Amino acid sequence: MTEPSKSESMLESDDISTLCVTRSDRLRPNTTFNRLYGTESDNTFALELEYTRTLYGEKIAIASIDEIKKLGIGTNTQHEQWLTDMKKIFPNVEEGQQLTGIFTPGQPSRFFFNGKPVGDVADPEFGPAFFGIWLHPKTSAPKLRQLLLNTK
């Protein structure tokens, strides 16, 4: 698999053709999520990414940690553990393939590749950090955040 020599930002809209948040019927209060993201969404949800180009799983993991650090979420120790976990979980992706993350307040974050489970990150603090890449008010992609949260 040859990866194009394009910017490594994981938030570029031309790299992801589908990006959606699906809310679950199971609701649980989560003030941490509301506090971090400034939203009224304290529910379990899925974030599905459909890729439009080839990306290596390791580079997705590294870009994710870089974005989390920019948001100022987590400690160095957590960043190291989260990076290790993501490198084990995130597969290499090609055009048309999907990676889905499931956020459930206070629970491990679960990941699926083309609908099949690929792993969990056990630390419950990882979920708000990881999904904050797209949903935190200080995201590097504010227009995408607005689309995901259906806000203006």
Helix (H) or strand (E) holding 22: strand 16-27
Give pLDDT tens digits for 49-83: 888 889 999 999 999 999 999 999 999 999 999 99
For each of the domains in the chain, give its residue range(s) and CATH number, in order of start: 16-149 (3.50.70.10)
Q: How far is CA 5 from the centre of its chain?
A: 22
Helix, strand, coil abundance in the chain, percent, nearest 5: 35, 25, 40
Question: For the whole model, what pTM was predicted?
Answer: 0.75
What is the per-residue pLDDT across 15-48, written as a single tens digit (0 to 9) for each?
A: 333 343 433 323 233 344 444 444 444 578 888 8
